[in-house]
Structure 1
Amino acid sequence: MSTTFRTTGRHGYGIKFSPFFPNRLACATCQNYGIAGKGSLYILEETPSGLLQSVSISDWTDGLYDVTWSELNSNIVVTGSGDGSVQIWDTGNHQHPVAVLKDHEKEVYSVDWSQTRDEQLLLTASWDKTVKLWDPQTTVLLNTFVGHTSVVYCCVWAPVLKGSFASVSGDGTLRVWSTQNPAQPNLTIAAHDSEILSCDWCKYDKNIIVTGATDGQIRGWDLRLTRQPLFQLTGHTYAVRRVKFSPHVDSLLASVSYDFSTRLWNWKVSPSALHVLENHTEFVYGLDFNAHVNNQLVDCGWDELIQMYRLHLPPNT
């Protein structure tokens, strides 16, 4: 079962469910496939009848490539832009950002708000090869993490390890960092022989991270044994743009790809996809699970479509 919303004239890049409201989500989009033009932030809600409707649309002068919600304030959303800036939006006053963070020299491709208790910090990753750490409440830049030798496509906080995050890059490495040591990562893994576009941390095991790359491969890594992947999932025929672990089932994850598909996997059971969803006619870029609703996920793509799914999976999938 799926629900469709069209971002007419805007191509989807990033999408995220609200951590506060089960029926609300945010989508970061660009004009002209992100090559040129403006960007727009869509705030959407699922109606009682199951349809998606627009609550607000906020425009920025450049493309918006990723989005994350505040874990502190239900109205605050953060986006990363092609002009190297980071926007903090208040959805109750959506015409202009309440703050703009500027320190990256190139496109900001990933933004993530920390999820551990008592730690309200923001990560941003950029094509300038750096990851930056911010205090989003004071808008102060706290640290810059340097080490990747190519574009940093994604950065994600550890869900349970305070002060830890992971990043992946065009240099083919997965790196695990501590916020206390910006000089060098705690761990570097040569995870793929190609550009790595996405990573995610398992919500149930602090030692497991998954990566998705331009070689079409999805690989899982046990941070205690990094000489070879814990698992490898095959089936995508083009680059894997984003990977996400389920917040409800430890062995379930999802991925989206330039092959126009969204796939679900049970990495403990099979290297082949559990489900293949083919509802897009262009690259699929954004992906997220709903932490409030079991087996609900959403994606967005360059075909101007947001697709929200309610999947009927067998128990203990």
Structure 2
Amino acid sequence: MIEFRTQGFNPYATKYSPFFDSRLAVSAGANFGLVGNGRLYILNLTANGIQVEKYFETQDCLFDTAWSEQHENQILTAGGDGSIKLFDIGVGEFPVAGWQEHGREVFSVHWGLVDKSRFLSNSWDGTVKIWAPERKESLMTLPVHSCVYSAQFSPHHPDIVTCVSRDSHLRVYDLRTKASAQNHMTLAIPIHAPPKVPAPGYGQGSVGPTECLTHDWNKYRDSVLATAGVDSVIRTFDLRSPAGPVNLLTGHEYAVRKVSWSPHLSDVLLSASYDMSCRVWTDGSNVEKGGNGAGFGREIGRMDAHTEFAMGVDWCLFGAEGWCTTCAWDERVLVWDVREFMRPT
């Protein structure tokens, strides 16, 4: 495990470059993002540890970042002042482009993995916006009517967009459909619906729907997603039968801030939580008996090195299947091998 300190700034997100296995980015804010500047770190993994390649200062906290899928040196940021900025590592200290249409904080940004000419943003103003980097205005606005915490393009289909929000729904949009009264929405799945296979303890102490803070697409199964949020439960869904979650993965003690499916293993995902732990899970889909894995999901490892809220997690796309990076409000970015923390089966 190697460590980098973001002295004076509390990280919100960390992302590996899709072009280089030794480069990663961290978005952060002073004073836990409540007041003060933001900072975007570009870090390099070297034989002498993690070194700063460059950093950019902003006037407000940066809640998220996303590498361009078109240009190896360009990266997006999501600002607390409602702005989206595009920085270029080789061009000075100021952004090379910027957009300001959101009315509230931009909570995340995501670059399309299939159609790499577009990216999206989501905001506390209750909208998701689709953008092209060469245009000053957004291409499309998807009204959600609830604070949106996470939105993504599908990694399998260029026109499928999903988001999760304060009202505890997972929404699916198909941009190919006509802009009817549904505004391209094809599904609105209540995240707190009962699971398809009754889970031990389900319904005990339930407080009803709570805010969903994060979601991620499975990289190998084009209908499977995971969600998580304030109630500390990770849920997996299959869009082919959206009546309820396939699995409930329980174990975190506080809200789950980030989930990320492995780019190497179809059944493994990683989570970061306000309980300061980062945990490794299997959804059970590799178990021979049980079909889609319902009822077999479980925790298979955990890392407890952070000493404050764990906020971000990302897998390295290159090399062996275990390397990842995590960040937390303890002003630390850690790079570690998940396999060292997995319990033997």
Report if TM-score (shorter chain) is over 0.5. yes
Larger Rg computed on CA atoms: 2
Aligned to 1:248: 264
Instruction: Indicate whether 1:131 and 2:128 are aligned.
Output: yes
Contact residue 213 and residue 257 of structure 2 kept, 8 A: yes
Please state how far the C-alpha of 1:213 moved relative to its aligned partner.
Answer: 1.1
The aligned counterpart of 2:41 is 42
Match of 1:154 in 2: 150
Task: Describe the superposition over 1:33-63 as per-residue Cα deviations: whole angstroms up to 9, x where unpaired.
Answer: 01111100000010035x1111111000000
Match of 1:28 in 2: 27
Residue in structure 1 matched with residue 282 of structure 2 by the alignment: 266
Q: Does 1:228 align with 2:227?
A: no
* Structure 2 partner of 1:305: 332
Residue 143 of structure 1 is aligned with which of 134, 140, 144? 140
Q: Distance in 2 between matches of 1:39 and 1:87?
A: 12
How far residue 94 of structure 1 moved from its aligned partner, in angstroms, is 4.4
User: Secondary structure of 1:137's partner?
Assistant: coil
Task: Name 1:281's counterpart in structure 2.
Answer: 307
Question: Sequence identity, in percent?
Answer: 38
What is the rounded CA distance, in whole Å, between the counterparts of 1:140 and 1:45 in structure 2? Answer: 33
Structure having the larger proportion of residues in strand: 1
Q: Which amino acid aligns with 1:185?
A: M
- Mean CA deviation greater in 104-113 or 89-98: 89-98
Q: Is 1:171–2:167 an aligned residue pair?
A: yes
AA at the equivalent of 1:68: A
Higher mean C-alpha displacement, 172-181 vs 284-293: 172-181
* Runs of 5+ consecutive residues of structure 2 not aligned to the other structure: 193-208, 288-295
Instruction: Tell me the alpha carbon deviations over residues 234-269 of structure 1, each in whole angstroms, 9 at most, x when there is no partner.
Output: 100000001000000000000000000100111116
Which piece of structure 1 moves more, 268-277 or 183-192? Answer: 268-277
**2:211 match:** 195
Distance 2:234 2:339 in 1: 23
TM-score (norm 1): 0.95
* Offset at residue 179 of structure 1 (A): 2.5
| Distance (whole Å) between structure 2 residues aligned to residue 233 and residue 24 of structure 1 | 31
SS of alignment partner, residue 299 of structure 2: coil
Residue type of the partner of 1:138? R
Deviations 1:184-224 (A, max 9, x none): 41111000311000000010011001001100000000001
- Unpaired segments ≥5 residues, structure 1: none
Deviation at 1:99, TM superposition (A): 0.9
Alpha-carbon offset, residue 136 of structure 1? 1.2
- Asked if structure 2 preserves the Cα contact closer than 8 Å seen for 1:251 and 1:267, the reply is yes
Cα distance in 2, alignment partners of residues 264 and 165 from structure 1: 26
Is contact 2:189-2:244 (8 Å) kept? Answer: no
State how far apart, in whole Å, the 2-side matches of 1:209 and 1:234 are.
16
Q: Take 1:47 and 1:82, find their aligned partners in 2: how far apart are those partners?
A: 32
